[in-house]
Amino acid sequence: MKYVDEYRQEALARKLSDEIGKTVTRPWVLMEICGGQTHSIVKYGVDYLLPKAVELVHGPGCPVCVTSLEMIDKAHCIAVRPDVIFCSFGDMLRVPGSEVDLLIVKSRGADIRIVYSPLDCLKIAKANPGKKVVFFGIGFETTAPANAMAVWQAKKEGIRNFSLLVSHVLVPPVMTAILQSPLNRVQAFLGPGHVCAVMGYREYEPISRRYKIPIVITGFEPADLLDGILKTVSQLEAGHAEVENQYSRVITRDGNIPAQKLINRVFEVCDRKWRGVGSIPKSGYKLQYDFRDHDAERIFEVEEIDTQESPLCISGLVLKGVKKPHECPAFGKECTPEHPLGATMVSSEGACAAYHAYRRHGIGVTA
Amino acid sequence: MCLAIPGKVIETLESDGLKVAKVSFGGMVKQVCLEYTPDAVPGDYVLVHVGFALSRIDQEEAERTYKLLEELGQLTELDS
C-alpha cells in the first residue's frame, strides 16, 4: 500500500472489504486501541464495510478520557491557588471533575493557560519568577517524550518554579488488563500507530505470545484500518498470533530510541488509576526521585481526594469495550458534547463524542 | 490528543541549548523541538506531537496524513 490517492478510494476500500468477507468464516471481536482510529472508523463508516461476523469494539486509547477523576480534581485544587499559573493542553479544560471543569475554574479567576508544547511552560516560568507554573502532564507514550524533555530542561536550566502534574498512562498494561478481565470479548487488537512511533512494537510481542492474540499495528486511513483488519482476521482464521506491522510507512520495530532514552531517564513505571477502568498495575509513569523538585503532587501536597462520578455515566464499560456509547441511557440526552457527564463525550477521540458527532444511535451495521 | 501532525522543516536553529526548527503545517509555521529527530534538515517532513518531532516521514505520507487529520478536525493543537 504505497500511493497517496489510493487511501480513501472507494474501490480500494471495497476491495479490502470484499477480501475480509472472503476470509472470515466465523464471528470475531477486534478492538482498536487508539482514539484517533476510533474517530476515523466512525467518521468514515469503516465498520459498515465489514461483514456482520466482524465486530469492532472501541478501546481506552483516548488519554483525555482515561485521566482519572482524582487527577482532574487534583488539577483543580492546584489551579485555584493564587500563586499558580496552571498550564494544560486545551483538550483537558472541559473534562468534568467531581464538581466542575477547568474552564469553570478559569472563569472564577484562576490563571489557567492553554499551551501548544510543555516547553512553552518553561518560558512562562522564566517570565513569572514569583509564580509557580504547573503543567498537566497527561497522555500516552506519544506525549511522554515532550513532558520528559520539559522536566529535563527545567532541571538543567535551574527553573525551580516549574513542575509537572504527571498522569501518564501506558498502552501495553491496559491491553493486558482487558485480556485478563472476566468480561473480555476481545480476540485481537489493532495496535496504536503513533504510540508505536515512539515506542516501536517490541513490547507487544510478549503480550501476543502469552495470550495467543494477534496484534496488528495499524494506521489511521480508512484503507489502513481495513488493511489492518484484513491482516488481523487472516491471522485469526489461520490460528496465528503475532505482532504484525501494517503501518511500516511510519513505524519501526524499535521506535524512537532517543525519545525512549529520555523517558527512561526522567520517568519510572508506576501503578496508575484509569478513569472508568480502575487501578492497573505498572500502567503509568511518575517522575523519578532525581526530579522530585519538579513533581507537582509532592510540591502541593495534594492529598487523596474523595471523588464523585456521575451515576448515569457508563464510560468505564465503553472504555473497556464492553458497551457501545449508544447503549448508555444518558447518551444524547443528559450527556452531550456541550454538557458531558463523562470524559468520553469531551474529547473528539472519545468513543461517545465520535458516535454523537456522526449520529451513531445504534443503527444496524450494513455489510 | 495522541495523533502526530506532519509538517515540513523550513529552517533549523538552536534555542536554550536545544535543536529546534521552524516547521510549516499547511502554511502555519511553528517552532518544533528536533532533539528526537536530530538528523532532520530543511526540506524534510516530520511527524510532530505537542511541539516535538517524533519521526521523519516521506512527502507522500505527510500530505496524506495532513489531509486526513484536517478532515477529522484533528489539527486544533496547532491553534494553541
C-alpha cell of A93?
A: 479544560
- Specify whether the CB–CB gap between A216 and A188 falls below 8 A: yes
Q: Chain B: residue nearest A35 by CA?
A: B2
> Which range (A22-26, A48-52, A354-358) has the least confidence?
A354-358
**Closest approach of A262 to chain B, Cα-based (Å):** 9
pTM over 0.75: yes
Please compute the mean of the pLDDT values over residues A234-248 and round it to a whole number.
Answer: 97
Q: Is the pLDDT of residue A5 over 60?
A: no
CB–CB of B54 and A61 under 8 A?
A: no
Gap between the Cα atoms of B69 and B5, Å rounded: 8
Please compute the mean of the pLDDT values over residues A98-111 and round it to a whole number.
Answer: 94
- The DSSP symbol for A326 reads G
Q: Is the pLDDT of residue A318 over 60?
A: yes
Confidence band for A110, pLDDT divided at 50, 70 and 90: very high
**Closest approach of A239 to chain B, Cα-based (Å):** 32
A168-224 pLDDT tens trace: 999 999 999 999 999 899 999 999 999 999 999 999 999 999 999 999 999 998 999
CB–CB of A347 and B60 under 8 A?
A: no
| Torsion A159-A160-A166-A172 (CA) sign | positive
Task: Name the nearest CA neighbour of B11 among A117, B3, B34, B2.
Answer: B34
CB–CB of A116 and B77 under 8 A?
A: yes
Q: What are phi and psi of A317, to 5 degrees?
A: -70, -35
B-chain residues within 8 Å CB-CB of A151?
none
Confidence band for A153, pLDDT divided at 50, 70 and 90: very high
Confidence band for B22, pLDDT divided at 50, 70 and 90: very high
Confidence band for B2, pLDDT divided at 50, 70 and 90: low
- State the pLDDT at residue A338: 86
CB–CB of B55 and A256 under 8 A?
A: yes
C-alpha cell of A265?
A: 531517564
- State the pLDDT at residue A317: 87
A278-304 pLDDT tens trace: 899 999 999 999 999 999 999 998 867
Q: Is the pLDDT of residue A260 over 70?
A: yes
A to B CB pairs, distance under 8 Å: 127
Q: Is the pLDDT of residue A61 over 70?
A: yes
Q: Chain A: residue nearest B68 by CA?
A: A221
Task: Name the residue with higher pLDDT: A196 or A308.
Answer: A196
- CB contact A250 to B (< 8 Å): yes
CB–CB of B80 and A114 under 8 A?
A: yes
**Closest approach of B55 to chain A, Cα-based (Å):** 7
Average pLDDT, chain A: 91
Q: Is the pLDDT of residue A166 over 70?
A: yes
Strands lying side by side in the sheet with A54-61: A54-61, A28-34, A188-192, A215-218, A243-245
Q: Which residue has the cell 468514515?
A: A44
CB–CB of A40 and B47 under 8 A?
A: no
- State the pLDDT at residue B69: 85
E-strand ranges in A291-357 read none
- State the pLDDT at residue A363: 43
B-chain residues within 8 Å CB-CB of A117?
33, 50-52
